[in-house]
Structure 1
Amino acid sequence: MSNTRSTERPARTSNGIVMLLLGLAMMVGGPILVAQSPGTLLFVVAGITICVVGLLVLCGLYSLQPNEGTAILLFGEYRGTDRKTGLRWVLPWYSRKKISLRARNVTSDKLKVNDKRGNPVEIAANVVWRVQDSAQALFDVDDYQAFVNIQIDTGLRDIASHYAYDHGEHVEGADQELTLRADAEDVAARLRDELAKRVEAAGIAVDEARLAHLAYAPEIAGAMLRRQQAEAVLAARRLIVTGAVGMVETALADLNERGVVDLDEDRKAAMVSNLLVVLCADREAQPVVNTGTLYG
């Protein structure tokens, strides 16, 4: 059998200032009536009764600051939530539970999880949340703050398993794959939506959720760093070679168009080889003086 879902509703309360003045008047008027009575039992009882009622009236006072609420209960039955700020009053036999409605900022602990490719990564999130429905937060879960913290951890683990840490080897379609490192905004949006669904049962609203920490686990961090460096070197080499081939092609076309020199296929091959070595080498080319002929 499922539990009944609670729903917040306004509570019927009164202005506390008026009730404070009334209670003080009764607390002062009771002893005055006893003191000025002719000594009859009726006046004494009336004065004491007025004083006790005034004390009870004062016991029903409570105050609320902005973005605070008080759940009103009568012998365990929920009677509504008061969100009106200032000094408020309710019948003294009503019990009250105050709850903060302010936004809260939580940074989760660093979790070691496996990403989509199975690589161990360390991940943590920063989440901004607030109580939206005070009745659900107080009565539908045992401890709504602990509930939110646990759901943040489980939601973060689930999100991390759906994304790779970073783009892997260059394959067709790999660049379109969302990753934890390169697509932080998309990951944050999905994390926020996932957490909003998980904490909805506790009357909690998630305003923002972002990754606060992301790194490879220490046992593979060194290897992954070397792989990233190698990928960067390969990408740079690929760009250099592409540019060098274009430059050689342009040079041969210009020489042929202007008729500067007539090169056969063997000479073109030698010239292409020499130009590629000069353009793609890590070091500056060393000039060689040819004292013979071009074919020597």
Structure 2
Amino acid sequence: MERIVKPTSGILALLVAIVFLGLSVYSVVLAIGSDNPFMFLVAILFFLVSFFIFKGVLIVQPNHSRVLNFFGKYVGTIKDNGLFFVNPLYSATKMSLRSENLQGQTLKVNDKMGNPIEIAAVIVWKIGDTYKAAYEVERVYDYVRAQSEAAVRHLAVSFAYDDLEDDSGEITLRNGGEEVNHILEKELTERLSKAGVIVEEARISHLAYAPEIAGAMLQRQQAAAIVAARAKIVDGAVGMVEMALKKLSEDNIVELDDERKAAMVSNLMVVLCGEKAAQPVVNAGTLY
């Protein structure tokens, strides 16, 4: 578990280290002037003390941390920013707490229905638990990149690209929107929690059919759109014909037998459903 430590201020330690460094230089000058070998030993001793204190002085930048380790044992984590002094024998590993932006590469995978698609995601993450990030995984940045790619691949194979291939599916990659992003974010959180990583946001940044089937799928989408439009036109035309016949009957404008009604329905459907404007033909005779 992560343990937060509050080290002492490093200002006093820095001043002491500077003093001992000055004494070391002064001892060297005295040793040269008096030709006394003992003063050289004193100068070396002062220098070693100064170096030892300097080693314990560290600076923690804003939104950064230092993970302290003492001969293989985790001591704690410094998350405050400033100048501090710690045991010089501690090893202090720098670790950023800032939000990182990972733009995943475009992956070519098969969706739920086996169609090859291209998909990519952008992920915003940061380190929340420095102990897990430092000791539970080997390299946290490589771990995040690999697990993010695995999560995107799993998302792609779990849903169809669109409802043309899976009519029973409630969610597709193309129209899932925020729900698909939420599912991706949830899976990333589960995968990256082992490394102490907090997923702030995850979104699909690129989604398309693979080039080898993109043309065929585009034609299929266009055909589906045309069929849907035709169905809408026919439904509206039938309503208009029904309304016209009903209006003629209610207002007693003209009495139509079944054959004339059939002819009128045929003409109205041609006019209403045709792609081009109908050319009127004036009938100067009788229908029979």
Q: Is the 8 A contact 1:31 1:48 kept in 2?
A: no
Show the counterpart of 2:56: 60
Q: Which moved more, 1:21-30 or 1:153-162?
A: 21-30
Q: Distance in 1 between matches of 2:263 and 2:47?
A: 114
C-alpha displacement at 1:120, in angstroms? 1.1
Show the counterpart of 2:186: 193
Q: Which moved more, 1:143-152 or 1:51-60?
A: 51-60
Q: Distance in 2 between matches of 1:170 and 1:246?
A: 32
Residue pairs, 1:123-138, within 5 angstroms = 123-138=119-134
Q: Report the count of equivalent residues.
A: 286
Q: Quick one: structure 1 residues 122 and 34, their matched pair in 2 at CA, closer, same or farther if it must change by over 3 Å? A: closer
Among 87, 93, 99, which residue is 1:97 paired with?
93
Q: Distance in 2 between matches of 1:156 and 1:111?
A: 8
1:238 partner amino acid: A
Are 1:250 and 2:243 counterparts? yes
Are 1:27 and 2:24 counterparts? no
Among 103, 118, 121, which residue is 2:117 paired with?
121
C-alpha displacement at 1:51, in angstroms? 4.1
Show the counterpart of 1:3: none
Q: Distance in 2 between matches of 1:187 and 1:274?
A: 48
Among 136, 143, 151, which residue is 1:147 paired with?
143
1:108 partner amino acid: G
Among 282, 285, 288, which residue is 1:292 paired with?
285
2:64 partner amino acid: E
Q: Which moved more, 1:188-197 or 1:41-50?
A: 41-50
Q: Distance in 1 between matches of 2:199 and 2:69?
A: 27
Show the counterpart of 1:86: 82
Q: Distance in 2 between matches of 1:219 and 1:71?
A: 50
- For residues 7-49 of structure 1, give each alpha carbon's deviation from its aligned partner in whole angstroms, at most 9, with x where no partner exists: 2112352212221112112222454478689x79988766653
Q: Is the 8 A contact 2:60 2:81 kept in 1?
A: yes
- For residues 151-170 of structure 1, give each alpha carbon's deviation from its aligned partner in whole angstroms, at most 9, with x where no partner exists: 11111111111111011179
- For residues 165-202 of structure 1, give each alpha carbon's deviation from its aligned partner in whole angstroms, at most 9, with x where no partner exists: 0111795xx4x610001012111100011011111111
Matched position secondary structure for 2:158 = coil
Q: Distance in 1 between matches of 2:276 and 2:77?
A: 76
Q: Quick one: structure 1 residues 284 and 169, their matched pair in 2 at CA, closer, same or farther if it must change by over 3 Å? A: farther
Are 1:17 and 2:17 counterparts? no
Q: Is the 8 A contact 2:113 2:165 kept in 1?
A: no
Q: Distance in 2 between matches of 1:116 and 1:34?
A: 77
Show the counterpart of 2:153: 157
C-alpha displacement at 1:253, in angstroms? 0.8
Q: Is the 8 A contact 1:12 1:80 kept in 2?
A: no
TM-score relative to the length of structure 2: 0.92
2:202 partner amino acid: A
Q: Which moved more, 1:160-169 or 1:182-191?
A: 160-169
2:171 partner amino acid: L
Show the counterpart of 1:216: 209
Matched position secondary structure for 1:113 = strand
Q: Quick one: structure 1 residues 210 and 69, their matched pair in 2 at CA, closer, same or farther if it must change by over 3 Å? A: same
Are 1:269 and 2:262 counterparts? yes
Matched position secondary structure for 1:18 = helix
5+ residue gaps, structure 1, are 1-6
Show the counterpart of 2:2: 8
- For residues 35-85 of structure 1, give each alpha carbon's deviation from its aligned partner in whole angstroms, at most 9, with x where no partner exists: 689x79988766653443223211222211111111111112111111111
Show the counterpart of 1:4: none
Cα RMSD for the two superposed structures: 2.2
Q: Distance in 1 between matches of 2:109 and 2:44?
A: 69
TM-score relative to the length of structure 1: 0.89
Q: Is the 8 A contact 1:120 1:217 kept in 2?
A: yes
2:2 partner amino acid: E
Q: Is the 8 A contact 2:4 2:76 kept in 1?
A: yes
Q: Distance in 2 between matches of 1:170 and 1:280?
A: 30
